[in-house]
Amino acid sequence: MPGMSWAQEAVPAAADAPPPVAATNGKQVYTPQDFARFAPKSALDMVKQVPGFSIQEADERRGLGQATANVLIDGKRISGKSNDSETALGRINASDVTRIEIIDGATLDIPGLSGQVANVVTAVSGLSGNFRWSPQIRAKRTDPRLLDGELSVTGKSGALDYTLSLSNVSNRNGNAGDEFVLDDKGQQVDQRYEEVYIDEDKPRIAGTLKYEDTAGSIANLNLSYERFYFTIFEDSQRSFPDNVRRRDYRETEREWNYEVSGDYEFDLGGGRLKLIGLRRFEHSPFFNSLVFEYADGKRTGETFHRTADEGESILRSEYRWKGGVADWQVSAEGAFNTLDNRSRRAKLDPQGIFQPLPFPDGDSKVKEKRAELMLSYGRPLGDTLSLQSAIGAEYSNIQQSGANGLNRTFYRPKGFVSLGWRASPRLDISAKLEREVGQLNF
C-alpha cells in the first residue's frame, strides 16, 4: 500500500531542550553533556529529550521481516520481538551512552527504515544498574499498586556484554456509583448501583547476552519469561421498578509466556551473513462468569472457559554486501505458527450447580507455514539524495481444523521504494511507496 512520511529535524523551541547540534555527515549528534540538565538515568530518558524525535516501535506482525522500529543500538536492530525499543533503552544506563545520532533511515544499509532514526552508541565498561519503583495509592475503590517497577543490571566481562532485568507492570483501577438506564424515549427503565475493580500485573524476568570476538563476529541471545494476572470484579444491585436483583460478573486471565531468540553475524565471502532464530510460546487460560440473583432467591448464570496456546517459530538469514557505492542484501525467512483454542460453556441449574452446555464450535486449531524471500538495494543518488528499495515474495499456507475448517495457500509479491532528501542542514524529507502483506493475527 502507498505511504508517505515527512521527517524534520526540528530546532528546539523550549528553553530547556538540548541545543542544536551541527550536522556531521548527514547526522545530528547529541552527546551526554547535552542532556545533563535533565539528570537522565537511562538511554530512554535521553532519547525522549531529543527535539522532534518520537520513538516508533516495530510493527506488530507475524515473523521478523525487515526493520520498522526507528531505534538502533550501536547501529544494530534490537534483537527479539518481546524486547521493544523503550524497554531496551530503559535498561541502558545513561553513563554508558557515548552519543545519540539522528539519521535519515533511507541512508542506512538496513532495509525497511525510512524517516528519522535514533542510533544510540554505547560503551559498557563495567557493572551498572537501573532501578525504578512506581507505587500508587488511591484514596478509594482500588487496592494499592505497590509492586510496579523494574530492576536491571548491565555489565561487561571481556568480550561478553550482559543485561539481566526483573520487572512488573501493574495497574489498579475501579469505580462505583449509581447508573440510570433510559430507553429511546428518555424514560427510565432501570436503576443500578455498581462497583468495579480491575487488577493487572505482568511480572517478567529477562536476560540478554552479546558476544563480539576480535574478528568482528557478533552473537546475541535473548531470554524472557512473563506471567500475566488479570482480574475484573463487577457487582451490580438493580432495583427498578420493582425487579430487585443482583448481578455478579467475574473475568480472569492467568497467562504465562516465554521467548528465546538469538542471532549470529559473521564475515563470509565479500559480505556479512546473519543467522536469526526465535521461539515464542503463550499459554492463556481465560474465564468469565455472569450470575443473577433475584429477590425470591432464584439464581441464573453462565460461565465460559477458553484456553489458548499460541506458538511461533522463526528461522531467518540475511546476507549483505557492498557493490561499489551500493548496499545489497538478500534475506530468506521461514516461520511456523500455531494456535490451539479449547472452549467450554456451562449453565447454572436450579440446584445451583453449573452444568456443561453443548459447544460444538468450541475447539479449533490453526497452523500457518510461511516463507519469504527478499532482495534489497540501496545507494546514494547524490550528496543529499539516497535510495532504498526491496522486491520479493511471500508464500503462506494456512490450515484450520474444527467447524468449517479451511486449507488455503497464498502467493503474494511485496516490496518498497524509499527516497531520502536532505534539503538543508535542518530539514530531511523522506517518501516511501510500499506494498505490504498483512499477516495472520492470532
Per-residue three-class SS string for the chain: CEEEEEECCCCCCCCCCCCCCCEECCEEEECHHHHHHHCCCEHHHHHCCCCCCCCCCCCCCCCCCCCCCCEEECCECCCCCCCCHHHHHHCCEHHHEEEEEEEEHHHCCCCCCCCEEEEEEECCCCCEEEEEECCECCCCCCCCECCCEEEEEEEEECCEEEEEEEEEEEEEEEEEEEEEEECCCCCEEEEEEEEEEEEEEEEEEEEEEEEECCCCCEEEEEEEEEEEEEEEEEEEEECCCCCCEEEEEEEEEEEEEEEEEEEEEEEECCEEEEEEEEEEEEEEEEEEEEEEEECCCCEEEEEEEEEEEEEEEEEEEEEEEEECCEEEEEEEEEEEEEEEEEEEEEEECCCCCEEEECCCCCEEEEEEEEEEEEEEEEEECCCCEEEEEEEEEEEEEEEEEECCCCEEEEEEEEEEEEEEEEEECCEEEEEEEEECCCCCCC
**pLDDT score for 92:** 85
- Min mean pLDDT across 209-218, 238-247, 254-263 is at 238-247
CA atoms within 13 A on the CB side of 108: 27
Is the pLDDT assigned to residue 68 strictly greater than 70? no
Is the pLDDT assigned to residue 16 strictly greater than 90? no
Q: Which position has the higher pLDDT, 146 or 84?
A: 146
Three cell numbers written together for 148: 510496579
**pLDDT score for 380:** 85
For the ranges 8-22, 150-164, 178-192, 252-266, the one whose mean pLDDT is highest: 252-266
Q: Which position has the higher pLDDT, 82 or 355?
A: 355
- Strands 299-323, 116-122: pairing is unpaired
**pLDDT score for 19:** 58
Compute the average pLDDT of residues 403-419. Answer: 87
Q: Which position has the higher pLDDT, 77 or 165?
A: 165
Compute the average pLDDT of residues 19-26. Answer: 56
Compute the average pLDDT of residues 233-245. Answer: 86
- Min mean pLDDT across 44-53, 65-74, 289-298, 318-327 is at 65-74
Is the pLDDT assigned to residue 350 strictly greater than 80? yes
Compute the average pLDDT of residues 164-183. Answer: 92
Compute the average pLDDT of residues 408-433. Answer: 85
Compute the average pLDDT of residues 407-435. Answer: 85
Position 61, amino acid: R
- Please give the biggest Cα pair distance in the chain: 86
Is the pLDDT assigned to residue 55 strictly greater than 70? yes
**pLDDT score for 375:** 96
Residue 52 — pLDDT band, cuts 50, 70, 90? confident
Residue 118 — pLDDT band, cuts 50, 70, 90? confident
**pLDDT score for 10:** 38
Note whether 118 and 53 are within 8 A (CB).
Answer: yes
Compute the average pLDDT of residues 123-147. Answer: 86
Residue 140 — pLDDT band, cuts 50, 70, 90? confident
Compute the average pLDDT of residues 392-401. Answer: 92
Grid look-up 478509594 returns: 140
Q: How far apart are CA 409 and CA 399, in angstroms?
A: 9
**pLDDT score for 21:** 56
Is the pLDDT assigned to residue 199 strictly greater than 90? yes
Per-residue model confidence as pLDDT tens digits over 200-227: 999 999 999 999 898 889 999 999 999 9
- Strands 385-402, 407-424: pairing is antiparallel
**pLDDT score for 63:** 64
Residue 420 — pLDDT band, cuts 50, 70, 90? confident
Sort 14 into a burial class: Cβ within 10 Å, 0-12 / 13-18 / 19+: exposed
